[in-house]
Amino acid sequence: MTHPILNRILMLDQVADERSREHQRRSTSAAAIIGTLIAFVMLEYQLLVEHHVPWDLIAVIYAMGLTKIALVRWYRYRN
């Protein structure tokens, strides 16, 4: 849901309908999951091959995962 003034400025009411917003939401969700999995694979490589613990990569994985879980819970209880 966007503000009516923002709709007039960006013409979102003409460009984006409900279906395209749903596709955007699904693709963003899939991209976040794939990004988290790739980061996890990179973490496993660093741990198993190079014997190095990349704490920054671990922080990114946890941040992405916790954000996804928090938003799923937020939207489930809000709607």
Mean pLDDT for 33-56 is: 92
Q: What's residue 4's pLDDT? A: 61
Going from N- to C-terminal start, the domains of the chain cover 4-78
Average pLDDT rounded to a whole number, residues 8-29: 66
Mean pLDDT of 57-79: 86
Check if the beta carbon of residue 33 is closer than 8 Å to that of residue 68. yes
Look up the pTM and report it.
Answer: 0.61
pLDDT given for residue 6 in this prediction: 57
Percent of the chain whose pLDDT exceeds 90: 28
Q: Is the Cβ–Cβ distance between 60 and 40 less than 8 Å?
A: no
